[in-house]
Structure 1
Amino acid sequence: MTLLRTVARPMLASMFVAGGTMALRKPDALAAKAQPIADVLRKVAPQARLSPRNVVRLNAAVHIAAGTALATGHLPRTSALVLAATMPVTTVSGHPFWNETDPVARRNQRAHFLKNVSLTGGLLMSTLDPEPHKPWLGTRARNTAVAAKDSLVDHVDDLRK
């Protein structure tokens, strides 16, 4: 891993690990904002126990796990993609500045909303950041499939001889 990646990945992941830890420790503080998400998820999966507190805990656990993986360089592109996938719902439910009537609160929520949008952009860029001399997972999968096909063709040719 290059020096830039060694420094940048933990910096990008820090907000997710810290925020996830705080949310996991105090889910009640965010449960009210998660209520609409829990309601939608209960319609999709009625058998799941999806209270607002559990939704907050689940999101927090994902942020901690994927943030730690990103920070330590384990599956960095996958963990960045997982974090980026959680951000739209987290951002819209957590910082609805358009609902604020107080100008100061509105500015504060807008700043946090835009911070999350910026973090999402950084995460999406991280999904494209290849390790030096290491092909992307899709390329490795394609190469493995091509090698398996070539091996199978060779075996079939040997059988025909």
Structure 2
Amino acid sequence: MARPMLAAVFIKTGIDQVRRAPDLAPAAEPVTERLAGPLQLPQDPVLLVRLNGAAMAGAGVLFGLGRAPRLAAAVLAATAAPTAYVAHPFWTEKDRAVRSEVLGDFLKDVGLLGAALLAAVDTAGKPGVLWRAGRAGRDAKRLAGVAAREAAHAAEAGRKDLQLAAAKVG
């Protein structure tokens, strides 16, 4: 139940960004200008807002359905960060009441970002890939040690058998 509940906010926000991209682009332009060059993205703020929204909505759907949930949550986090920054610039507000309200909205988005980050690293009770790889390495090393000891014992037994056989013949 938790995944669809969290995903719903991201899906709605993503759809809103796609639909209202021309209205949202002027506020996003400072961020899109800074990110477009280093990430080799087009210099079109409307397109970048739409891409961010589409990625957010798509990842939200995947996350809500439990399909590739860790990857989807990572995409949600990556799209939520610029959204929170652009949508709620409390630091520009002069009026205390408005600033407080915008700060509250910003902190809600930061909380959603935190939830997405937690979901991105959650293994749902199953060991992650790194843990499994480390465990496989430790198991292989242990099995190699056991095999080496067994080979040494077999070689020693073979040597003794050869000595006995040589003593009987000679």
C-alpha deviation, 1:45, in angstroms: 5.4
The RMSD of aligned alpha carbons is 2.5
- In structure 1, runs of 5+ residues without a counterpart are 1-6, 154-161
C-alpha deviation, 1:99, in angstroms: 0.4
- 1:100-125 C-alpha deviation (Å, 9 max, x unpaired): 11233212210111001111121122
2-structure distance, mates of 1:13, 1:111:
20
C-alpha deviation, 1:75, in angstroms: 1.1
C-alpha deviation, 1:9, in angstroms: 0.3
Q: CA distance change for structure 1 residues 128 and 8 in 2, over 3 Å: closer, same or farther?
A: same
1:135 is aligned to 2:127:
yes
C-alpha deviation, 1:143, in angstroms: 6.7
2-structure distance, mates of 1:38, 1:128:
27
Question: Residue 56 of structure 2: which of 49, 60, 63 is its match?
Answer: 63
Contact (CA 8 Å) 2:42, 2:48: kept in 1 or not? no
C-alpha deviation, 1:71, in angstroms: 0.4
Kindly indicate whether structure 1 or structure 2 has the higher relative contact order, using CA contacts under 8 Å at least 6 residues apart: 1
Question: Residue 52 of structure 1: which of 45, 53, 64 is its match?
Answer: 45
Larger Cα Rg: Structure 1 or Structure 2? Answer: 2
2-structure distance, mates of 1:144, 1:65:
34
1-structure distance, mates of 2:92, 2:67:
39
2-structure distance, mates of 1:80, 1:123:
5
User: In structure 1, what is the equivalent of residue 12 of structure 2?
Assistant: 18
1:109 is aligned to 2:102:
yes
Q: CA distance change for structure 1 residues 123 and 100 in 2, over 3 Å: closer, same or farther?
A: same
Question: Residue 120 of structure 1: which of 113, 122, 129 is its match?
Answer: 113
Percent of residue pairs identical: 36
TM-score using structure 1 length = 0.75
2-structure distance, mates of 1:54, 1:124:
25
C-alpha deviation, 1:95, in angstroms: 0.9
- 1:81-139 C-alpha deviation (Å, 9 max, x unpaired): 2211233322122211010112332122101110011111211221232234x332434
1:27 is aligned to 2:28:
no
Q: CA distance change for structure 1 residues 144 and 55 in 2, over 3 Å: closer, same or farther?
A: farther
Deviating beyond 6 angstroms after TM superposition, the runs of 4 or more aligned structure 1 residues are: none
2-structure distance, mates of 1:86, 1:45:
14
